[in-house]
């Protein structure tokens, strides 16, 4: 929740046209997000690791932590590139996203090489490969479902008969439309 609230404060205290928060909220958001990441890192490399019983790590932690770090790194780098491509004067925000991506990638490399008190680098590596497989499967499956949906729509619309042309409006229809337009385009307030 700290990370989510921190990102919210960072996002809406920056360069936004509507609903802008005070500038001081950005600093609070950075502190909250940083503290949230430090807390999660402490859950891996310190005594805060979630446990079901003494010396038995919660199996959901093995899934969550590598997936979270990998997904955050990928999303941050993709967001940074997108900001550079479509955003105007967004180089500062893009650089910030590249820094976040780099920090998450550094945490990923640390997880591969530095053992925590309850999670070894070998276990982290195994679960990281599973996270890569999960995220790749989600990306490929999403892409294929979008392509299949677009193909079905394209084939359906291609097989539709050409729309029938309608006759031009009659003189009485043109007079009726002209009178309706004239009554609504007076320009004077009543």
The DSSP output letter for 57 is: E
How many whole angstroms separate alpha carbon 92 and alpha carbon 69? Answer: 23
Vertex 101, ends 66 and 61: CA angle to 5°? 15
Tens digits of residue pLDDT in 101-127: 999 899 899 888 888 888 888 888 999
Q: The pTM is what?
A: 0.69
How confident is the model at residue 177, as a pLDDT?
A: 92
pLDDT at 187 exceeding the cut of 70: no
**Cβ neighbours for 131, distance < 8 A, ≥ 6 positions apart:** 63, 66, 67, 70
| 53 vs 34: which has the higher pLDDT | 34
> Domains of the chain: which residue ranges?
1-48, 56-160
Cα separation, 143 vs 182, in Å, equals: 51
The pLDDT, as a whole number, for residue 135 is 92
Three-state DSSP class for residue 99: helix
Confidence of residue 151 (pLDDT cuts 50, 70, 90): very high
Helix (H/G/I), strand (E/B), else coil: 12: helix
* Residue 27 tokens, joined: 């600093």
Q: Which residue has the tokens 């205290």?
A: 13
CB 142 within 8 A of CB 148: no
């Amino acid at each position: 929740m700290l990370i989510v609230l921190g990102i919210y404060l960072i996002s809406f205290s920056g360069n936004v046209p509507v609903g802008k928060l005070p500038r001081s909220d950005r600093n609070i958001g950075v502190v909250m997000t940083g503290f949230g990441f430090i807390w999660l890192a402490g859950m891996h490399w310190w005594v805060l690791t979630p446990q079901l019983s003494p010396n038995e790590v919660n199996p959901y932690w093995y899934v969550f932590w590598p997936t979270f770090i990998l997904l955050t790194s990928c999303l941050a780098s993709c967001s940074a590139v997108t900001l550079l491509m479509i955003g105007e004067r967004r180089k500062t925000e893009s650089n910030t996203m590249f820094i976040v991506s780099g920090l998450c990638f550094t945490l990923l490399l640390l997880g591969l090489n530095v053992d925590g008190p309850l999670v070894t680098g070998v276990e982290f590596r195994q679960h990281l490969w599973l996270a890569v497989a999960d995220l790749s499967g989600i990306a490929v499956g999403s892409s294929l479902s979008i392509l299949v949906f677009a193909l079905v729509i394209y084939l359906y619309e291609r097989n539709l008969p050409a729309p029938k042309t309608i006759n031009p409006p009659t003189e009485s229809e043109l007079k009726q439309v002209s009178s309706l337009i004239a009554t609504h385009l007076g320009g004077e307030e009543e």
